[in-house]
């Protein structure tokens, strides 16, 4: 039988994992038990819904045996088993679809969070074992197989004998060394403690044999050894327990055991609902964003159980897109076991559950924002963008649900504020909620367009994510205050410059017209600025489309490029304006040069590419001459 190589990436990952990723080696057991339980869920469900499969609830259990002498630990399940192909597919490739590349780009900070993102739970066996053997028989095949591997250099699969379907995972436990006492993983009481800690809530019995001594019958001093099988886990699923029986650690363990994520959840929500529809749910708000969260591959959804039987791994209909980061499960006695994917979508009960869940998540987030601001900001860093997408995608339909969960950086507070905090601080004469969009806080800080508004003492919200401005457009207003970009043509502020504007002479209008002509259709107009204080020029926009939005839309891979209506604004209290006037009167060639220079400067300040950098450079040289 030829030995198969693990795919090259897998090899590297395997080494990496064995040597560094998991901080606690003992969790290999949780991983294997979790797999066994999943395999049993699959067959259990099949047996309940397919009459051709014999069904006896007592048939479903996990058995753990330890053979100290030979250093063998076995985890057996009566689950669905694997076919030869499944063995190859499931245990032959570790890192699927470029996840390793991701790992290399992102330094592992705290070990544990990376591994679950690959689905390599099974391989954690190599943290404690030199050799791993899997003997498995699929429920619908007659032939069983043996898979064998010594770790990174590959694996073999061969035909094998096994009576009933299910899987045995057989570990040859490593020899004890200075770093780790591997012997503990052969000690029955230690194993029991590990199971209690991580896998107590597994629905199926986890059985172990305990050997102890007792007095021989009829004897007063002679003892005999006897072995007794015990179920070590409580088996009551955590969601059926009372909240007051459970500690935060219990929820955290459940989160890891279920592989919802390898971070620690930021918050758990335990719902026990009775009434129109009865259900239990445990939901988690993760701390960290899964690495594939903003990709197409990410699948939202909650696990769905019907009377304790898992019927769907990720039921998307239970979560709105804007809460797609939520993990967890729902168990209801009111759902039919045989319900199909299509039927579920129209299921009235499910709709009610989904609605309750949505409202509950919303109120938990609101409370977190109110009572645990730091935690909320942590959450918002990871998932705030998703809330904004929610506003944008729903055409404002989810406004009521989401607007008070938004945070933006404030120019005045120098930290994140809510819209309600912003409006609460508005001076009476302020009509609009002002915002400035740009790549970063530092960059927006320097935007000349904001000068007048800052001068007025008005606060500005900084929009640094590309979705921000689009989301706000959908919102349109908040507490009847409209949003206004600091770059928009009309700021709605009466300024001192208005009076000065009247001082502008008719001749100046001719000057602006001339400059507009020089620039042609690069700009819609050249005007005296009402917002600039210290800077000589800036770009503003007329119409709905801002220059920031233009940048974002044009960065998308579409053929058609769009253009905001640009206005070149000149600060007429600036010295430069005098030079323009003089050039207009005496030297038109110079005015042409100045106009181009100012326009290019405005582009640069805006972070836009110059139409012709070489020409710009030549222009600079010619004024130096």
Binding site for ligand ADP (CB under 6 A): 35-36, 39, 77, 79-82, 90-91, 119-122, 167, 259
Within 13 Å of residue 446, how many CA atoms lie on the same side as its CB? Answer: 9
Shortest distance in whole angstroms from residue 386 CB to ligand ADP = 24
Rounded distance between C-alpha atoms, residue 532 and residue 535, angstroms: 6
Rounded distance between C-alpha atoms, residue 397 and residue 147, angstroms: 54
60: left (phi over 0), alpha (psi -120 to 50) or beta: beta
Shortest distance in whole angstroms from residue 160 CB to ligand ADP = 15
Rounded distance between C-alpha atoms, residue 190 and residue 126, angstroms: 19
CB contact set of 372 (below 8 Å; sequence gap of 6+): none
Spell out where 7-153 has E strands.
Answer: 62-67, 72-77, 129-137, 144-149
Residue-wise over 574-607: b if at least 16 C-beta within 10 A, else e? bebbeebbebbeeeeebbbbbbbbbbbbbbebbe
Judged by CB, which is closer to ligand ADP: 132, or 472?
Answer: 132
For 50, the 3-state DSSP assignment is coil
Shortest distance in whole angstroms from residue 109 CB to ligand ADP = 21
Q: Is 396 buried (19+), middle (13-18) or exposed (0-12) by CB count in 10 A?
A: middle
Residue-wise over 213-224: b if at least 16 C-beta within 10 A, else e? eeeeeeeeeeee
Strand partners, 129: 173
Judged by CB, which is closer to ligand ADP: 83, or 418?
Answer: 83
Say which residue the tokens 């800036």 belong to: 538
Residues 224 and 216 sit within 8 Å (Cβ to Cβ)? yes
Shortest distance in whole angstroms from residue 75 CB to ligand ADP = 8
Say which residue the tokens 């009551």 belong to: 236
Shortest distance in whole angstroms from residue 90 CB to ligand ADP = 3
């Amino acid at each position: 039988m030829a030995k198969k190589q693990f795919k090259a990436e897998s090899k590297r990952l395997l080494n990496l994992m064995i040597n560094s990723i998991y901080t606690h080696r003992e969790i290999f057991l949780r991983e294997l038990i979790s797999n066994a339980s999943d395999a049993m869920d699959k067959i259990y469900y099949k047996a309940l819904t397919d009459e051709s499969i014999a069904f006896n609830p007592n048939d479903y259990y996990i058995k753990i045996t330890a053979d100290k002498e030979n250093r063998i630990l076995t985890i057996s399940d009566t689950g669905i088993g694997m076919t030869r192909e499944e063995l190859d597919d499931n245990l032959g490739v570790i890192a699927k679809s470029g996840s390793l590349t991701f790992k290399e780009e992102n330094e592992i900070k705290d070990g544990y969070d990376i591994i679950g993102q690959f689905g390599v739970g099974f391989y954690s066996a190599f943290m404690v074992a030199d050799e791993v053997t899997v003997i498995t028989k699929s429920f619908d095949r007659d032939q069983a197989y043996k898979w064998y591997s010594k770790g990174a250099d590959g694996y073999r699969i061969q035909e094998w004998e096994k009576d009933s379907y299910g899987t045995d995972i057989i570990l040859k436990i490593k020899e004890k060394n200075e770093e780790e006492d591997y012997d503990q993983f052969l000690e029955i009481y230690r194993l029991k403690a590990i199971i209690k800690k991580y896998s107590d809530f597994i629905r199926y019995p986890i059985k172990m044999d305990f050997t102890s001594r007792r007095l021989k019958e009829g004897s007063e001093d002679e003892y005999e050894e006897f072995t007794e099988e015990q179920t070590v886990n409580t088996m009551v699923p955590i969601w059926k327990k009372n909240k007051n029986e459970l500690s935060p650690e219990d929820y955290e363990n459940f989160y890891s055991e279920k592989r919802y994520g390898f971070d620690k959840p930021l918050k758990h929500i335990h719902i026990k609902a009775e009434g129109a529809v009865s259900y239990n749910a445990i939901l988690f708000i993760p701390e960290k964003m899964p690495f594939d969260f903003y990709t197409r591959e990410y699948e939202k959804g909650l696990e769905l159980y019907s009377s304790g039987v898992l019927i769907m791994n990720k039921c998307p209909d239970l979560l709105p897109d804007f809460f797609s980061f939520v993990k967890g499960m729902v168990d209801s006695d009111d759902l039919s076991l045989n319900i199909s994917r299509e039927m579920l979508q129209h299921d009235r009960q499910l709709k009610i559950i989904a609605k309750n869940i949505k409202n509950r998540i919303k109120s938990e987030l609101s409370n977190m924002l109110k009572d645990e601001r730091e935690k909320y900001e942590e959450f918002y860093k990871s998932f705030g963008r998703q809330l904004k997408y929610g506003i944008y995608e729903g055409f404002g339909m989810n406004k009521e649900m989401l607007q008070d969960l938004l945070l933006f950086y404030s120019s005045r507070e120098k930290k994140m504020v809510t819209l309600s905090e912003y409006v609460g601080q508005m001076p009476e004469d302020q009509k609009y909620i002002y915002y400035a969009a740009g790549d970063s806080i530092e960059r927006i800080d320097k935007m000349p367009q904001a000068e007048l508004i800052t001068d007025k003492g008005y606060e500005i919200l900084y929009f640094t994510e590309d979705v921000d401005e689009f989301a706000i457009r959908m919102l349109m207003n908040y507490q009847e205050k409209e949003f206004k970009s600091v770059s928009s043509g009309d700021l709605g502020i009466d300024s001192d410059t208005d009076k000065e504007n009247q001082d502008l002479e008719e001749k100046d209008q001719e000057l602006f017209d001339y400059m507009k002509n020089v620039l042609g259709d690069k700009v819609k107009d050249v005007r005296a600025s009402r917002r600039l204080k210290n800077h000589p020029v800036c770009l503003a926009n007329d119409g709905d489309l801002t220059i920031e939005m233009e940048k974002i839309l044009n960065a998308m891979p579409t053929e058609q490029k769009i253009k905001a209506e640009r206005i070149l604004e000149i600060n007429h209290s600036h010295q430069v304006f005098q030079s323009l006037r003089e050039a207009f009167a005496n030297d038109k060639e110079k005015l042409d040069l100045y106009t181009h220079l100012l326009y290019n400067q405005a582009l640069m300040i805006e972070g836009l590419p110059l139409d012709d950098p070489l020409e710009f450079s030549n222009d600079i040289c010619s004024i130096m001459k």
